[in-house]
Structure formats: C-alpha cells, structure tokens
Amino acid sequence: MAVDITIPPLSQTMDTVILVQWLKAVGDEVVNGEPLFVIETDKANLDVESPATGILRRIIAEPGTEVKVRSKIGVIASPDEIIPQGPGPKPTPEPKAAQPLPTATGPGGQPLPPEQRNRIFASPRARRLAQQEEVLLAEVTATGPQQMIVEQDVRAYLEARRAAPEVTPVARRVAEAVGLNLTTVVPARPGARITRADVEAALAKREAVAPAGIQWVDLSPTRRTIARRMAESQQAAAEVTLTREVDATELVHLRERILEELSERDRRPAYNDFLVSIVARQLKQHPYVNATTNGERIGLSEEVHVAVAVDTERGLVTPVVRNADQKGLLQLAQERAELVRRALDGSITPEELGGGTFTITNLGTLGVDAFTPIINPPQVAILGVGRIRSAPAVHKEELCVRQLMYLSLTFNHRFIDGAPAARFLADVVRLIEKPHLLWLDVSQSIP
C-alpha cells in the first residue's frame, strides 16, 4: 500500500520549512526509520526518517522548495503498485483576511431599531445561498421590503468579499519580513491570490527606484523567525530594563583558582557557566521571573531551564540548559559547550531549543559594556551581560582597580512589578560579588 511522505510538525510556531536535500532518488529502496530527506527549520538542519519500507516512487517537492508542515512531498510504494501520477494534494487555502463589509441595516442604510437588531429577515433563496457560501446573514445589508435580505443582497456581499484579494501564507511572510505593505501589491491576474511571485515583483519595483549600490538579500528562515519573534515581544510585552554595575573581582579570582585545580581533561568553565549557575539558583527563589506567559496568564515553572543566546551564521539561537539549578559547575560547562557546538554546526534539535524559562545573553565577548536585551517569548524576563573590565572603584573605602561589569534585566511589566524584578537582580549581584555564598542555602537571606 502506498504511503505518503509528509513534513512532520516540529513545533507549535513553525508552519513551513525548506526542503534542503533528498537522501534517496526515485527508484531507490528505502527502509522505515532511516534518514530520507533533510529540512531546514528556523533553527537548524534536520534529517527526517522514512515513514515506511519500500521504493521511493515519487518526489513532489524539489530541494530548495519552501513546503508547508504536514504537506505531501513524495510517495513510497512497492515496485509494481500503481500510484496516482497527478500533482500532490491541493494546498489548503489560507483563511480569508477579515475585510470591512456591509452591516445589517434597514431601508436607506439606516440601522435597525433596537427591538429588531437581533432578528434577521431573509428570503428562502437568500438563506440557501448564504448557507452554501458560508455567509453570516448578520453581515449582509438588507435592501428587500421590510428590511428583508434577498438573494441579490447575498450576491452583493459575496462580490464585496471577493474584491479583496487573498494572500498566500508564503507571500504574507515574505512581505512581513521585508516590511512590504501588501496593499501595494497587485496580483498577476485580477481577482487572483497574491503569491510570493507577486510580492517579489513588487520588491523588484521598489529596488528599481532604490539608490545605486544597494544589494537586496533574502532573509533566511532563521532571520525571518527572529524578526517575527522580536516584533511579537515588543508588541505583546510592556518591557522595562533595570541595569546594575557589579563588582565581579571575587568571581574573577574564584574562576582563576578553579582553573588552576583542573586537569587537562576537564572542561574549563567560562564566565557564562558561572552566571548560569548563579542565575539558576536565584530563579528558584523568584518564581515570577522564572515563568512564561500566553498573553493572559502566567505559568510558574517548578523547574529551571536556562536558555543561553548563541550567535551563529544562521542567526541568534537559544539552546536550553535544563534543570540548571540542580547541576554542578563542571557539568553545566560540559552541557553548555556541547549545546553551543551543535548550535554552531546546525545539528541542534528543536527540543534542545525549546522549553526555556529564562534567557541569558552575553555580549561581553564583543566588547559591549551594557545593552537593552529583548525578551525571548513566551518568557517574561531576560538578563543581558556586559564585558568584565578593569576600572577604578572605591572598595572598602579605598580607591583601587576592580573588575567591573554591567547586568541588564529586561522584564515584562505586565506580569512582574519593578520591585520584585529589582530584588531578583540584587540577589544575582550579591552572588557575583560574593561567590563564596553559593556554598550556603540560597533560600536563606543573603547577608
């Protein structure tokens, strides 16, 4: 029996992927569970296994094609089995965008009186047509006698609805990614849907009048996802940033002493590993910082999963160190280094990128002192880390050179007030300035 090859759903937020490569050719034998093709998600390249054993009889989508999740891209069947040779299944049309349409009114376009607003009068032919075309009669303007909706009213409504062109999902994402207003895009044929080709044609016209020397580059799936998620974060969250200068001298000395004790086989912990350990222990004591949101409710997590931002050629990704509060420094260093390696080479999985409850992003290695990080949805807070630098400071009433750094905590003020956020940041600062307190129970008040 023929088996369809489809694109598996890999996350709740991803609806398309790029088909990178087929690992088998038409006519090749395939085995259930062996890698069959490679896809590019918004985070990484992934091998997808064959859903059945048999012969790869048909390939529908070619490498380089953007395909929808759950769409059919090929067929596996036995050598002598007859399979349909037509094109793949018709794609599900994108839901029609809401358009301003006529509302229910009485004669002369006047609103119905209050006692009649909940009563809809329509002829049998009008009701039958409305049912066939899935039209809500409450949205149709009545022109018949005694405010009755007649068949012609429903047809006028349908014409008004069809006048606004539909937009394919790919075309909408491309337009959003490059900031193109879809109202300026004209479909190739009157009444047809706006496709990616129509959007690209509109972009070509825009580029034609652009200043000389500009090279337009298509955004990668990762970059488009980052753009969308950052826009969502700014629109959905009331973001506030608190910044503290920290004396990290003791932390620097502690790291130096630890490195001296390690053997050549041990993973050498970086400052990020110390910060993950410190932040994770404090998140356990501040549940409203260690949380996610769906926009209306806040989810308090009993577990601490710290995401660490990694700069890759594909864009920014945030692999997650799970249960970070329960792990020792060397284990954290080993796990984080492995996650960073897989993020850089593109082999990291969606599971390793999801489920974070808090994010740390460090630009100190790039010479940045302080910055305003943007929350990684659906989380409610993120910590930005600046470089550690030698600078004059007053320590124990004496002017001396200390190792200073800035921490910037951005939080969603819809769910966290300023004082609780400041207390969390203060507790993190204390453990950086007095790292020996990590040996104490951090649930107790820190002196």
Q: Provide mean pLDDT across the span 351-366.
A: 93
Task: Check residue 53 and give its pLDDT.
Answer: 92
pLDDT band at 187 (very low <50, low <70, confident <90, very high): confident
Burial level of 267, CB count in 10 A (0-12/13-18/19+)? middle
Q: Give residue 327's pLDDT.
A: 94
Q: pLDDT (tens digit, 9 = 90+) per residue, 224-237?
A: 777 777 776 666 67
Residue (of 442, 276, 274) closest to 359 by Cα position: 276
Q: Enter the pTM of the model.
A: 0.59
Per the annotation, the verdict on 413 as an active-site residue is yes
- Is the Cβ–Cβ distance between 318 and 307 less than 8 Å? yes
| Complete DSSP assignment for 248-275 | -HHHHHHHHHHHHH--TTS----HHHHH
Full DSSP string of 68-81: ETT-EEEEEE-TT-
| Pairing between β-strand 35-40 and β-strand 16-22 as defined by DSSP bridges | antiparallel
What is the mean pLDDT of the segment spanning 144-169? 76
| Dist. CA 172–CA 191, nearest whole Å | 17
Q: What is the pLDDT of residue 119?
A: 59
CATH 3.30.559.10 residue ranges of the chain are 234-439
pLDDT digit string (tens) for 169-184?
777 777 776 777 776 7
Q: Between the CA of residue 203 and those of 158, 218, 228, what are the distances in Å?
A: 31, 11, 19
pLDDT of residue 191: 65
318 near 356, Cβ under 8 Å? yes
Residue from 4, 325, 417, 436 carrying the catalytic annotation? 417
The fraction of the chain above a pLDDT of 70, given in percent, is: 79
- The pLDDT confidence band at residue 109, using thresholds 50, 70 and 90, is very low
Which has more pLDDT, 85 or 75?
75
* Residue count of the chain: 447
Percentage with pLDDT > 90 across the chain? 45
Lowest mean pLDDT among 78-92, 146-160, 192-206, 286-300: 78-92
Q: Is the pLDDT of residue 360 over 90?
A: yes
Please report, as a single letter, which amino acid is at residue 3: V
In this predicted structure, the answer to whether residue 90 has a pLDDT above a threshold of 60 is: no
Query: Is CATH 3.90.1150.10 the right assignment for the domain spanning 234-439?
Result: no
Domain span(s) for CATH 2.40.50.100 in the chain? 3-77
pLDDT tens per residue across span 296-310: 889 999 999 999 999
Alpha helices in 124-192, H assignment, sequence order: 124-132, 151-163, 169-178
3-state secondary structure of 368: coil
Contact 276, 336 (CB under 8 A): yes
CATH value of 107-163 in 4.10.320.10, 3.40.50.720, 3.40.50.10130, 3.30.1490.20 = 4.10.320.10
**Distances 159 to 94, 113, 140, 163, 378 between C-alpha atoms, Å:** 19, 27, 12, 6, 41
* Predicted confidence band of residue 198 (pLDDT cuts 50, 70, 90): confident
User: Is 417 known to be catalytic?
Assistant: yes
Q: Is the pLDDT of residue 447 over 90?
A: no
Q: Average pLDDT of the chain? A: 82
Q: What is the mean pLDDT of residues 404-412?
A: 96
Q: Distance between CA 193 and CA 215 in Å, rounded?
A: 28
CA dist list (Å): 39 to 69, 92, 172, 280, 315:
11, 21, 21, 34, 17
Tell me what pLDDT residue 161 has: 62
Per annotation, catalytic residue among 413, 427, 436, 441: 413
Q: Higher pLDDT residue, 13 or 142?
A: 142
What is the structure's pLDDT at 210? Answer: 55
State the pLDDT at residue 219. 67
Between CA 218 and CA 91 the distance in angstroms is: 24
β pairing state of 121-122 and 72-77: unpaired
pLDDT tens sequence across 16-68: 888 888 999 998 999 998 999 988 776 667 889 999 999 999 999 888 788 88
pLDDT computed for residue 163 by the predictor:
61
Indicate the CATH number for domain 3-77.
2.40.50.100
Pinpoint the residues of the chain covered by CATH 4.10.320.10. 107-163
